[in-house]
Amino acid sequence: MHALSKLIDNYEKFARQPPGQKLATVQRHLVEFGRKSPRERLWTIRCILGEMDWYWKVHRPGNDRTAYVIGLFGSGRNYLNELMQRHIGERSRYVRQGIRFRRGRTSMVYTGHATVRYVSRFQALPAVTRRVLEAARSGLADVIFIYRHPLDSLLTNWVWWRIYIRDNFMFPGISQYYRHTDDLCVDLEENFSEFKAFAEGDSEFFAPIGDPRFLSFAEFIEETQLFLQSAILPLRLEDFSIDPLKEFTKIARVMSVDLDLSLLRIAPPKAKPYRYLAVKEKVPRFRDFINDLDLETRRRIEKIGYEVCG
């Protein structure tokens, strides 16, 4: 249902565009696909064909513990997707985009967004997540949860959603959209009221796409905390910037992937860790936003292992 609702939402936005803009949208997506490497093109095609999981209804889906690689928006999950495409060997053929519950043991690796408590656009429903977490508690599945400093995720998510709502365009991340952090700071300063509305989960921000909206900042942090209480393997994106091979080894171990890790060269993420610190120095209102966070939000951020530097 998540994939279907996303498809319908994208089609409706596309259908509302004038003819010239429709052509430009199609051309942009074709150019983006053409720029991908052969491996990335294969991954894209697999994701499209795998949305309904049709292949594994007639082929045996293996007998490992089903793996679920979950991350809230703006947490670094796409980086893990790239690592799995390149470095988990034969099991990479079982990787599918989207969180779908599978009964029993399989070799499937589902990667996607999900929530535990709140219904949120483009994320698997809590009912699905609960079944996944129960399978993990029963020893039939592994849940790998990737997260990063929530203020970094907040900035990334604000940029992603404003561009998606305005231009119907999905971009990989801040580093790919803004050449310099200064450009982000200018945009944030000029549109700070919009940023604050997004952080508060204001329905007016999401009015052009309707319900359900995305998570508020407080809900986002609460969801992170809930996942950290249940995940078999929690991973911080910032730790990949320090020692990506060490962190990837943890993934290979949980998935029981038999690889010669000594031969691997794991690239660190492109996302700049703790970017929010540079932004708060240049955007006083963002610094005030951090200083004005309520005590419960601050407590939760600290409980998931991060400082709140305002």
**Residue 75 DSSP class:** S
pTM for this prediction: 0.81
Burial of 143 (0-12, 13-18, 19+ CB in 10 A): buried
Q: What are phi and psi of 237, to 5 degrees?
A: -60, -35
Q: Which tokens go with 71? A: 């991350």
Beta-carbon contacts of residue 241 (< 8 Å; ≥ 6 apart):
268, 269, 273
In a domain, 185, yes or no: yes
The 10s digit of each residue's pLDDT in 85-95 is: 889 988 888 89
In a domain, 2, yes or no: no
Residue 293 CA to residue 310 CA, distance in Å, equals 9
**Does the pLDDT value for residue 34 go beyond 70?**
no
Q: Which tokens go with 228? A: 């950290």
- Please give the pLDDT value at position 56: 56
Burial of 193 (0-12, 13-18, 19+ CB in 10 A): exposed
In a domain, 102, yes or no: no
The 10s digit of each residue's pLDDT in 193-202 is: 999 999 999 9
In a domain, 287, yes or no: yes
Residue where the block lists tokens 């691997």: 264
In a domain, 120, yes or no: no
Count up the domains in the chain and report the number.
1
Torsion of CA 243, 249, 251, 257, to 10 degrees: 160
In a domain, 207, yes or no: yes
Cα separation of the two ends of the chain: 40
Residue-number span of the structural domain to which 197 is assigned: 150-212+273-303
In a domain, 5, yes or no: no
The 10s digit of each residue's pLDDT in 57-73 is: 545 677 789 999 999 99
Q: What is the mean pLDDT of residues 267-271?
A: 91
In a domain, 65, yes or no: no
The reply to whether omega before 212 is within 30° of 0 (cis) is yes
Residue 226 CA to residue 212 CA, distance in Å, equals 20
Q: Which tokens go with 38? A: 């052969």
